[in-house]
Amino acid sequence: PAKPIYAGELPPGLQRISNIVAVSSCKGGVGKSTVAVNLAYTLADMGARVGIFDADVYGPSLPTMVSPENRLLEMNPETRSILPTEYLGVKLVSFGFAGQGRAIMRGPMVSGVISQLLTTAEWGELDYLVIDMPPGTGDIQLTLCQVVPLTAAVIVTTPQKLAFIDVAKGVRMFSKLKVPCVAVVENMCHFDADGKRYYPFGRGSGSQVVQQFGIPHLFDLPIRPTLSASGDSGIPEAVADPQGEVAKTFQDLGVCV
């Protein structure tokens, strides 16, 4: 495992961040980026100074989910540090803003590149940095958790029984690193149609996780066409509809982190 660089020598760009929150999932496509982005913008709406680090090298989502005017990261020529781009006051760093094609790299190289991008960015003074973790609990994720001092982790999953095993892996990784898992978000838990509620992936595995691992909070996020459409449009739903049901869920989650 990588030596934690924050043991006494946190990089200058990260020194003025109060809370670093990892949003993690064990599989791709469960809605991790959707949660990370909506959580970040809800925290900003609640008055916090917020940044988002999209740590996915292979499939960065941030450039699709938000639409900053400046879509390229710049470098401070004097300090050689990276200047985040910004959308609605939230600072953003993603490989998708690095101006290169999709990376072809092996695991150890990926870990190095992610750590470098995260630690050389000039985040300035932030109340929250939300890290959209790459999916899984392998070396890349472990390294990332070790180069910055995480204050909390949020695990995103779907309600299938199978997902339970994956969540357990995530919880174990964070507990080994002594990072508190403050919440599980069970995404795509149900949808409403013709006046009825449907549970396409079953019910109950979220509450099982929460009980078994003593995680204090469980949030349900329904399947909503507007969530998917807002993800594609570059304006997060929590921003587009700040009084809506989704924004309320994220306000509750925001209080937990």
Is 157 within 8 Å of 163 (Cβ atoms)?
Answer: yes
Position 10, amino acid: L
CB of 25 to ligand ADP, least distance (A): 5
Number of residues that bind ligand ADP (CB under 6 A): 17
Task: Give the residue closest to ligand ADP by C-beta.
Answer: 231
Give the number of other CB atoms < 10 A from CB of residue 133.
28
Can residue 239 be called a binding residue for ligand ADP (CB under 6 A)? no
> Considering the complex, what minimum distance in angstroms separates the CB of residue 23 from ligand ADP?
9
Pick the binder of ligand ADP from 24, 38, 42, 61 (CB under 6 A).
61
Residues 168/213, Cβ–Cβ less than 8 Å: yes
Which of 137, 35, 52, 42 lies closest to 95 in space, CA to CA? 52
Q: Which of 85, 143, 157, 187 binds ligand ADP (CB under 6 A)?
A: 187
User: Which residue among 39, 154, 184, 227 contacts ligand ADP (CB under 6 A)?
Assistant: 227
Does residue 188 belong to the site contacting ligand ADP (CB under 6 A)?
yes
CB closer to ligand ADP, 45 vs 54: 54
Segment 3 to 42, residues that bind ligand ADP, using CB under 6 A = 25, 28-34
The Cα 257–Cα 241 span in angstroms is: 22
The tokens describing 100, both together, are 């290169």
Give the separation between CA 26 and CA 23, rounded to whole angstroms.
11
Using the minimum distance from each CB to ligand ADP, give the nearer residue, 124 or 200. Answer: 200
Q: Which two tokens stand for residue 124?
A: 């300035």
| Sequence-distant (≥ 6) Cβ neighbours of residue 85 within 8 angstroms | 68, 70, 71, 72, 73, 91, 92, 93, 97
Site residues (CB under 6 A) for ligand ADP?
25, 28-34, 61, 187-188, 221, 223-224, 227-228, 231
